[in-house]
Amino acid sequence: MDDRLNHEQKMFSKTNWEFTKKIVEGNFESQVSPILTLDVSKKCNFHCNHCVDQETVNKDNLEIDWGILKQLLVDLKMQGCSCVELTGGGEPTTYTHFKDLIKLLSLLQYRIALISNGSNLHKYCDDIINAPFDWIRISLDSSNAHTHSVVHGCSLNVFKSITDSVKKIAKYKTVGISFLILPNNYKEIYNCAKYVKELNVKYIEVKPELNFKDREITQIDDKIKEEIKKQINKIKNELCDDTFSIIYPSSINYSQMNQEKKYTICEACYYRTVLTPSGIYPCSYFRGLTDGTEIPTSWENMVKIRNSEINKINPSKQCKHFCARNKINECINILCRIKKYAPEFIDYLGWPIDYGNDIEWM
């Protein structure tokens, strides 16, 4: 299985190790996060019933002001932020200044990632191929045009446009496909994997559906669980090789409903700042669940708002659900103890580790 979801391992990567050390030394609250999760737009051209952001998509504050964003990106780069993930809460490619944004991120030599529904890829294929994208992940959630149009509330011809663009981009960049398991697509996981492998896609990420109200995993019946397991094993046995893999979170077995946490501050949140048209959220999970904030106009302001939003969340009370970043917090705890009792050990182990650019994002 691919290591893309092994978040705690990525604390030791070349992108994150310096920041990890700052956390362990208690010297991180004035630093910008190494990664910026950037929701540039809350607009979306699809109408997915499963959308976890359905209460905020296409609502107020649709886009981040381009003038403010430009300045922030310049400042953040100078302060040590090196990776920008263009992602959800809407479809990033609907941003009015999407092309300019890619140009600026390239000019500033950021490493970039994109999570998209793929519908506008045909407009930006060349821009994406020529920019420093580490990876691109497209939510396809289907193996054919019919299921795709039903799942995403879009027209039948969009599937072909997406897969044509994916094929073109995958010649040059790491492209992954995500597959959210739903009642109307769960029989197609294997077929989707088989189809996208032929497009040179590097991996399929299979995920359980989350309820948009509380972000808990939506439960399914045992027969469907068995069917999913069967297809995942078939993908592993018949399709996975050096060129293609399957990834999935441990919650894929639908049994990990609760995950009690003992810590009262989430240090994992400091690795990424989540900036959206409604301001900053402590992490993507709380996007749209907390009030949002003003849009920061300087990096200092951004760090201050980030810290304040993180401090408002007490994971032992507010994060009882499964969280993939829980292991980062547990690992930080262990590192802090090592630092206290055997500080020389921290530098002794030869970190950082080079996992390869496209998988070291945490």
Residues in the site for ligand SF4, rule: CB under 6 A? 44, 46-48, 51, 53, 57, 88, 90-91, 117, 152, 266, 268-269, 282-283, 285, 313, 315, 319, 323, 325-326
Cβ proximity to ligand SF4, 168 vs 207, nearer residue: 207
Q: Which is nearer to ligand SF4, 4 or 325 (CB)?
A: 325
Bridge partners (DSSP) of residue 137 are 115, 176
Q: Cα separations (Å) of 73 from 5, 81, 113, 270, 361?
A: 27, 9, 15, 18, 18
Cβ 70 to ligand SF4 shortest distance, Å? 24
We find the least distance from the C-beta atom of residue 348 to ligand SF4, in angstroms, to be 29
What tokens does 286 get?
A: 């709380």
For residue 146, the one-letter residue type is H
Closer residue to ligand SF4, CB minimum distance, 133 or 322: 322
User: DSSP secondary structure string, 186-216?
Assistant: GGGHHHHHHHHHTTT--EEEEEE-B-TTT-P
- DSSP-derived letter for residue 353 is B
C-alpha closest to that of 196 among 252, 153, 144 = 144
Closest CA to 315 of 301, 331, 329, 303: 329
Comparing CB distances to ligand SF4, the nearer of 13 and 116 is 116
CA separation for the pair 135, 262 (Å, rounded): 34
Query: Tokens 């989350």 sit at which residue?
Result: 210
State the nearest-atom distance from the C-beta of 80 to ligand SF4, in Å.
21
Residue closer to ligand SF4 by CB (options 48, 206) is: 48
Tell the smallest beta-carbon distance from residue 314 to ligand SF4 (Å). 9
90: exposed, middle or buried (Cβ count in 10 Å: 0-12, 13-18, 19+): buried
C-alpha span between 55 and 62 (Å, rounded): 13
The minimum distance between CB 89 and ligand SF4, in angstroms, equals 7
Query: Could you tell me the smallest distance in angstroms from the CB atom of residue 238 to ligand SF4?
Result: 29
Would you say 15 or 245 has its CB closer to ligand SF4? 15
CB nearer to ligand SF4: give 117 or 231: 117
The H-or-E segment that residue 272 falls in is strand 272-276
Dihedral (Cα; 185, 191, 193, 198), 10-degree rounding: -140
Shortest spacing between CB 264 and ligand SF4, in angstroms: 11
